[in-house]
């Protein structure tokens, strides 16, 4: 049976090879969430007080000056399981999507209840995307591409974080080098016409 134990933040040991990054802005979002809702998601640790999941929550707790944080000790994991879960805990959540219509209804309801929707964690571009007065979601693929090439990344933000967007742009740049295309428009249009491409 899992049990929650409250520990001092300084007693917990961050995993030195944690590959998940946390910007100052994201840590502040987590801290704001903790202030609003409480510390609802305990930090997962191993039997040696090493953090398996919850590095961002620990950083937020330290930012808030909390004396104690809730933890759950995962016992009996092998070294491979610990290493794998550090990654899986983050990536599995990213594999989920959003029902945009339902999400929009919920955000509208929260707004009517005078709730601060900035606490939900979405950036301004994503919130603009949900506003039908800001973006027409009935765009054709060509129009979506044109929006992106014009500097508007709102469509891509439906699926990617800022860090992941930089990876997408890196892949586009790689495609320019591999194909000899002179711009993103020509590159992506060629991919759409011919399939996945070979680069």
Contact 110, 170 (CB under 8 A): no
pLDDT for 160? 61
pLDDT for 135? 45
Instruction: Identify the CATH number of the domain defined by range 4-94.
Output: 3.90.1530.10
DSSP for 36-105, written as a single string: HH-S-SPEEE-TTSBEEE-HHHHHHHHHHT-S-EEEEE--S--HHHHHHHHHHHHHHHHT----HHHHHH
Where in the chain is CATH 3.90.1530.10?
4-94
Identify the segments of the chain with pLDDT beneath 50.
135-137, 152, 197
Strand partners, 53: 44
pLDDT for 181? 74
pLDDT for 29? 93
User: Which pTM does this prediction carry?
Assistant: 0.64
Does an H or E element contain 159, and which? none
pLDDT for 196? 52
């Amino acid at each position: 049976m899992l049990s929650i134990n409250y520990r001092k933040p300084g007693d917990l040991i961050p995993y030195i090879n944690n590959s998940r990054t946390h910007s100052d802005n994201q840590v502040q979002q987590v801290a704001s969430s903790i202030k609003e809702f409480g510390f609802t998601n305990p930090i997962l640790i191993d039997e040696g007080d090493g953090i398996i999941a919850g590095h961002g929550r620990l950083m937020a707790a330290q930012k808030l000056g909390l004396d104690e944080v809730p933890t759950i000790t995962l016992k009996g994991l092998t070294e491979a399981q610990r290493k794998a879960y550090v990654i899986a805990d983050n990536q599995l959540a990213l594999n989920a999507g959003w029902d945009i219509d339902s999400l929009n209804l919920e955000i509208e309801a929260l707004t009517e209840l005078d709730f601060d929707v900035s606490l939900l964690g979405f950036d301004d571009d994503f919130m603009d995307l949900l506003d039908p007065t800001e973006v027409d979601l009935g765009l054709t693929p060509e129009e979506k591409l044109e929006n992106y090439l014009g500097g508007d990344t709102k469509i891509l933000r439906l699926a990617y974080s800022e860090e992941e967007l930089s990876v997408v742009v890196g892949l586009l740049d790689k495609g320019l080098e591999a194909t000899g295309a002179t711009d993103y428009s020509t590159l992506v249009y060629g991919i759409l016409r011919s399939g996945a491409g070979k680069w």
